[in-house]
Chains A and B, each alone.
Chain A
Amino acid sequence: MNNAQRNGLLAAVLLLAMLASLLAGPVWVSPSDWGAGGLKAIILFELRLPRAILGAAIGAGLGLAGAVMQGFLRNPLADPGLFGVSSSAALGAVISLYFGFAASALLLPLFALAGAALGMAALSLLVGRSESLILFTLAGLILASLSGSLTALMISLAPTPFATAQIVNWLMGALTDRSWADVQLVVPLIVLGAIILAGTARPLDSLTLGETAARSMGVDLGRLQWRVVIGVGLLVGASVAAAGIIGFVGLIVPHLVRPLVGHRPGAVLLPSALAGALLVVLADSLVRVLPTTSELRLGIAMSLLGTPFFLALLVRMRRELT
């Protein structure tokens, strides 16, 4: 199966998964209910459909961001959170929860986006013109560490245990009850980020040979760096704004996809986006139908999925090394 066929297959499976997710939930909706109007149609069109689209968009964004990060850092274990932008976006959202800005449900995502933008600005100021990967990783670490500490501070200063619970709950990530308004805010940003990152495929391929060879072939590494920062920042910021912190997608999906496409970094991008979307849509459907009393938080579901994945990875590596 060549790459184009595989991508087509992934896209088809994704579409099926999205359709299935429209049906699944505490209230089962069957296809015959769609035209009938009434309660179930409302659930379908106002709640499930935006949620499915949002889940697919976020999954695609995170998968793509992870693929680009891994290609750029030449590290198969890099994660989009390494830039610190997801932490600063989360901090923005937590600030809006802490100060109780409740005029509109859209205020929280806007704060998260502002946090992401400030995080990117801080990253750019820290890194300057340098193209050193170590400097980059360190700057991202500083940003993540600072945002994380401030977030923990906000949690500890919360006035009542209920406020604490609300913040902690949001951080665990969920797509519950999202609406078309969230879709309108977040999906254009994800599309923009994806367009910016789509052009990085060739430069990432050239980095297979190392920076010197890549530059000798005419690749502008400085420009690549900024496209990566801005693109990943947009994708990650938008996804945190919509759903809180959803980990592991950016890490696992490109890793799984890579051997199937021959390890070429540029070839990993599109399948990672499609597979990431598929993973999030499936996970989100799963948390809706699991018989737990309250809906399992999506971020927790992803973490639970991630751990056995890493275990399998470790076992395989041990076997290969001995």
Chain B
Amino acid sequence: MQMRINRVSLMLRGRPVLHDLSATLQPGRVTVILGANGAGKSTLLSCLAGLRVPDRGTVLLGEQPVPGMDPRVRGRQIGLMPQRAEIHWDVDVETLVGLGRMPHRGRWGLTEGDRAAISSAMAATDVTALRQRKALRLSGGEQGRVLLARVLAGEPHWLLADEPLASLDPAHQLDVLDRLRDAARGGAGVVVVLHDLTHAARVADEALVLKQGHLLAAGPAANVLTPEVLAQAYGVEVHLARTADGAPIIVPVRRIA
């Protein structure tokens, strides 16, 4: 099922934040949302998750408008990893990851299916060794992986992540990018807000570039992640390169006057 953004506009506190955005997102592909600070990336992600209702236009999952969906059904289909990591109680990692099964759970305890999903989510993010540890005592990076595991445990059809690489060390950043790609390969649609251009280039199949709430460019990553578009989006001159084995590198060089 596709996700379609249909002429979405949104005002927040009297200011226009999103202008008449339209795009189509395909399942099984990783779409990266890029843009300068304040361009509207997180707001757009909230609209995709059904947490904000656009003033004009709508977001459709298949044929269904996302805001109108039954919240539980929506919770099963769409998983969101918010930007701010919040853990309010001193629970252990396994319990925290288990919270991701909430949209699926019946009246009583965890089923075999629930337990399997939790285990595989923990394995995928390499936190199985931490399962008995208290989540609040973990390092920032470990917490980040645990919170991603929570979203994965819900086995969503659409995985939305808002800057999931913050506070991760390079090894784990690459791991998370790999997990996102695995999720897409498994059939889920993945939409990620990233601010590092090299990471974006590494993981993106498609890209949406926002500038001040307008859609600057949309399409396959190779077409969008070009110096011209990025100069317009960020106001910087970038240098594109490739490593010896073909991995892309995008480096900002200098501000454009």
- Which residues from chain B contact A264 at a C-beta distance below 8 Å? 89, 91, 95
Main secondary structure of the interface of A (DSSP, over half): helix
Contact A218 B74 (CB under 8 A): yes
**A56-84: which have CB < 8 Å to B?**
74
B75 at the interface (CB under 8 A from A): yes
Q: A208-B96, A210-B82, A264-B95 in contact; A217/B102 too (CB < 8 A)?
A: yes
- Which residues from chain B contact A220 at a C-beta distance below 8 Å? 71
Contact A216 B91 (CB under 8 A): no
At the interface with chain B, which of A7-15, A26-34, A199-207, A313-321? Answer: A199-207
B241 at the interface (CB under 8 A from A): no
Q: How large is the interface on B (under 10, 10 to 19, 20 to 34, 35 or more residues)?
A: 20 to 34
Contact A213 B75 (CB under 8 A): no
**A176-233: which have CB < 8 Å to B?**
202, 205-210, 212-213, 215-220
A265 at the interface (CB under 8 A from B): yes
- Which residues from chain B contact A219 at a C-beta distance below 8 Å? 71, 75, 102
Q: How far is the CA of A208 from the CA of B102 in the complex (A)?
A: 12
A100 at the interface (CB under 8 A from B): no
Q: A216-B75, A220-B71, A264-B89 in contact; A205/B96 too (CB < 8 A)?
A: no
Q: A219-B102, A263-B91 in contact; A213/B86 too (CB < 8 A)?
A: yes
- Which residues from chain B contact A207 at a C-beta distance below 8 Å? 88
A159 at the interface (CB under 8 A from B): no
Contact A213 B103 (CB under 8 A): no
B154 at the interface (CB under 8 A from A): yes
Q: What is the CB-to-nearest-CB distance from A321 to chain B, in angstroms, rounded to a whole number?
A: 15
Q: How far is the CA of A213 from the CA of B73 in the complex (A)?
A: 15
Question: CB within 8 A of B51: which of A206, A209, A215?
Answer: A215
Q: How far is the CA of A205 from the CA of B92 in the complex (A)?
A: 13
Q: What is the CB-to-nearest-CB distance from B127 to chain A, in angstroms, rounded to a whole number?
A: 15
Question: CB within 8 A of B84: which of A210, A215, A218, A263?
Answer: A210
Which residue, of A206, A208, A213, has the highest number of chain B Cβ atoms within 10 A?
A213
Given A209-B88, A264-B91, 12 more contacts at CB 8 Å?
A208-B89, A210-B84, A210-B88, A212-B80, A212-B86, A213-B80, A216-B49, A216-B75, A218-B73, A220-B71, A262-B91, A264-B89
> Would you list 21 pairs from A and B whose C-beta atoms are within 8 A, ordered by A residue?
A74-B89, A205-B99, A206-B102, A208-B88, A208-B91, A209-B99, A209-B150, A210-B86, A212-B80, A213-B80, A213-B81, A213-B86, A215-B51, A215-B71, A216-B49, A216-B78, A217-B75, A217-B103, A218-B73, A218-B75, A264-B89
Chain A residues with CB under 8 Å of chain B are 74, 202, 205-210, 212-213, 215-220, 262-265
A-B pairs with lowest CB-CB distance, top 6: A218-B75, A210-B86, A218-B71, A216-B80, A218-B72, A212-B82
